[in-house]
């Protein structure tokens, strides 16, 4: 009998960010392993043209939920969507809903965040810091609350090289920043942002660090834990390998390389590629929820969910495996033959950007224009190069994250829980994982049919001159 699965039975669980990448996998695993849980409240912001129920249906009618629909046929009834906007006061939750949440919630998983690297500091502070503070305030009024699990990022302290499972202070108190945002106008925020951020590379990592400080300062009597995943990738094992549904992190780069747009990227091939599968993150998250509620550690424990110190893989090895998978399973409608290089030399990168990215895009646009179609390749290429410039910081450095708490937790689990809620990355075979990842990008993100592989290979052969273009 799984102690973790039994623990969630009968519980009322509140999840923020449930419509996001991690949130969906969290709901899926919870409902599959604990179909007798009472209810999952999800805070969902209304989106134009979609009712809340439509948003929920869109999620649970996907392939990701195929298995769980069998185990838990009344899935719809288990998930209760609550209209909420984390950018608003009291999250714009109705009085009745708020009353229900306050009186019934047993566990909170706080996943919502803005993960855009270049978000305006005001917006990033609002969602990643102020909303966390507000949620903690709500949590402090929940008599039945057993645990509050905050999802942060391993890169919240990316200004350091060695990172322990502790909270490091930022130079300016988050409360001061929250208050200042009330009366600073955008021009002042823009001017002061670089000074506040210091050696943090973007507003995302900086505000996630502030969010952790808020959690520490506002924890009061709450039972809190923080999870810090590194670069979250496609599923490793569950509910099936390779599931992924957005362009964040490496996903967009895999698409760009597979379609032949991306030819070179400034990266250190020997730098550790600290990827972590999303199902591993969720297994750890559920185990932490159980441990925090049942064992009530005296202080807030932080858990690093990283792969680098237990089972390292570098960008060079990962890139080679991505490319060799393209040989077997090419993407459809490739612009050129998939081939890309990691290079640490800035001059070489400028050269390849001109010769292999900008020039072919311009030539293709001229061809589109001459044939009466709308030129679009230069715009797409500029967007890609901008995205790469945002990711470069993370692929040219290595970090060391200690994992004492995560390893301690692993040893606390029963053999059955270690199997059902496996977060031991030492068992991960990188080559197999990357192959499934690329396959998953093709199937679940690009929605390409495997039956189209011969045609995709044919397409590459047909465009022979383009195949060998730089």
Ligand X SMILES: NC(=O)C1=CN([C@@H]2O[C@H](COP(=O)(O)OP(=O)(O)OC[C@H]3O[C@@H](n4cnc5c(N)ncnc54)[C@H](OP(=O)(O)O)[C@@H]3O)[C@@H](O)[C@H]2O)C=CC1
Ligand Y SMILES: CCCCCCCCCCCCCCCCCCCCCCCCCC(=O)SCCNC(=O)CCNC(=O)[C@H](O)C(C)(C)COP(=O)(O)OP(=O)(O)OC[C@H]1O[C@@H](n2cnc3c(N)ncnc32)[C@H](O)[C@@H]1OP(=O)(O)O
**Residues of this chain that bind ligand X (CB under 6 A):** 17-23, 43, 45, 84-87, 111-113, 115, 127, 151, 153, 208, 229, 231-232, 246, 248-249
Among residues 6, 192, 247, 446, the one that binds ligand Y under rule CB under 6 A: 247
Q: Find the shortest distance in angstroms from Cβ 354 to ligand X.
A: 31
User: Could you tell which of ligand Y, ligand X, none binds residue 22, using a CB distance below 5 to 8 A set by kind?
Assistant: ligand X
The residues with which 224 forms a beta bridge, in sequence order, are 148
Alpha-carbon span 37 to 30, nearest angstrom: 8
Asked if residue 141 lies in contact with residue 180, where contact means CB atoms within 8 angstroms, the answer is: no
User: Could you tell which of ligand X, ligand Y, none binds residue 341, using a CB distance below 5 to 8 A set by kind?
Assistant: ligand Y
User: Could you tell which of ligand Y, ligand X, none binds residue 320, using a CB distance below 5 to 8 A set by kind?
Assistant: ligand Y
User: Could you tell which of ligand X, ligand Y, none binds residue 254, using a CB distance below 5 to 8 A set by kind?
Assistant: ligand Y
Give the chain's length: 470
Q: According to the binding rule CB under 6 A, does residue 390 interact with ligand Y?
A: yes
Alpha-carbon span 223 to 107, nearest angstrom: 10
Alpha-carbon span 61 to 72, nearest angstrom: 13
Options 52-60, 162-170, 314-322, 349-357: segment touching ligand Y (CB under 6 A): 314-322
Q: According to the binding rule CB under 6 A, does residue 269 interact with ligand Y?
A: yes
Instruction: Determine which helix (DSSP H) or strand (DSSP E) holds 370, and give its type and residue range.
Output: helix 359-370
User: Could you tell which of ligand Y, ligand X, none binds residue 177, using a CB distance below 5 to 8 A set by kind?
Assistant: none
> Residues with Cβ < 8 Å from 425, sequence gap 6 or more?
276, 280, 306, 307, 310, 311
Options 98-106, 176-184, 300-308, 390-398: segment touching ligand Y (CB under 6 A): 390-398
Q: Find the shortest distance in angstroms from Cβ 211 to ligand X.
A: 8
Among residues 242, 252, 260, 289, the one that binds ligand Y under rule CB under 6 A: 252
Q: According to the binding rule CB under 6 A, does residue 431 interact with ligand Y?
A: no
Residue that the structure tokens 């209304």 belong to? 46
Q: According to the binding rule CB under 6 A, does residue 285 interact with ligand Y?
A: no
For Cα atoms 438, 343, 201, give the angle at the middle one, nearest 5 degrees: 85
Residue 110 C-alpha from the chain's centroid? 13
Asked if residue 156 lies in contact with residue 204, where contact means CB atoms within 8 angstroms, the answer is: no
Phi-psi region of 411 (alpha: psi -120 to 50; beta: other; left: phi over 0): alpha
User: Could you tell which of ligand X, ligand Y, none binds residue 316, using a CB distance below 5 to 8 A set by kind?
Assistant: ligand Y
Options 35-43, 115-123, 167-175, 403-411: segment touching ligand Y (CB under 6 A): 115-123
Q: According to the binding rule CB under 6 A, does residue 17 interact with ligand Y?
A: no
Options 41-49, 54-62, 379-387, 405-413: segment touching ligand Y (CB under 6 A): 379-387
Buried b (16+ CB within 10 A) or exposed e, 324-336: ebbeebbbeebbb
């Amino acid at each position: 009998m799984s102690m973790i699965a039994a623990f969630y039975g009968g519980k009322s669980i509140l999840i923020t960010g449930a419509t996001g990448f991690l949130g969906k996998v969290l709901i899926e695993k919870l409902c599959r392993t604990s179909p007798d849980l009472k209810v999952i409240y999800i805070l969902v912001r209304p989106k134009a043209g979609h009712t809340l129920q439509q948003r929920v249906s869109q999620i649970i009618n996907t392939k990701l939920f195929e298995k769980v629909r069998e185990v838990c046929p009344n899935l719809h009834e288990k998930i209760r969507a609550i209209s909420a906007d984390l950018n608003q006061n009291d999250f714009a939750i109705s009085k009745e809903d708020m009353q229900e949440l306050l009186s019934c919630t047993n566990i909170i998983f706080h996943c919502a965040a803005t993960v855009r690297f270049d978000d305006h500091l005001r917006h990033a502070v609002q969602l990643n810091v102020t909303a966390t503070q507000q949620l903690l305030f709500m949590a402090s009024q929940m008599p039945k609350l057993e645990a509050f699990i905050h999802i942060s990022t391993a890169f919240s302290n990316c200004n350091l090289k060695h990172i322990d499972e502790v909270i490091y202070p930022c130079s300016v108190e988050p409360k001061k920043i929250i208050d200042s945002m009330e009366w600073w106008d955008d021009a002042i925020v823009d001017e002061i942002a670089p000074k506040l951020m210091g050696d943090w590379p973007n507003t995302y990592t900086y505000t996630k660090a502030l969010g952790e400080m808020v959690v520490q300062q506002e924890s009061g009597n709450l039972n809190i834990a923080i999870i810090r995943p590194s670069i979250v990738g496609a599923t490793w094992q569950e509910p099936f390998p390779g599931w992924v549904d957005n362009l964040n992190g490496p996903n967009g780069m895999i698409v760009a390389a597979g379609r032949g747009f991306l030819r070179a990227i400034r990266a250190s091939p020997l730098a550790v590629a600290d990827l972590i599968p999303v199902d591993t993150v969720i297994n750890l998250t559920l185990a932490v929820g159980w441990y925090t509620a049942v064992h009530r550690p005296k202080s807030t424990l932080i858990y690093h969910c990283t792969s680098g110190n237990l089972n390292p893989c570098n960008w060079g090895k990962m890139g080679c495996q991505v490319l060799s998978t393209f040989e077997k399973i090419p993407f459809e409608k490739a612009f050129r033959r998939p081939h890309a290089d990691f290079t640490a030399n800035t001059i070489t990168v400028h050269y390849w950007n001109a010769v292999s990215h900008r020039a072919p895009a311009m030539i293709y646009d001229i061809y589109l224009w001459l044939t009466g179609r709308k030129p679009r390749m230069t715009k797409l290429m500029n967007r890609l190069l901008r995205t790469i410039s945002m990711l470069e910081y993370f692929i040219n450095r290595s970090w060391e994250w200690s994992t004492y708490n995560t390893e301690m937790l692993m040893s606390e689990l029963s053999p059955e829980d270690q199997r059902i809620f496996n977060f031991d990355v030492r068992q991960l075979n990188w080559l197999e994982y990357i192959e499934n990842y690329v396959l998953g990008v093709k199937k679940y993100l690009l929605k390409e049919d495997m039956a189209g592989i011969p045609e995709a290979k044919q397409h590459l052969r047909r465009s022979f001159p383009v195949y060998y273009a730089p």
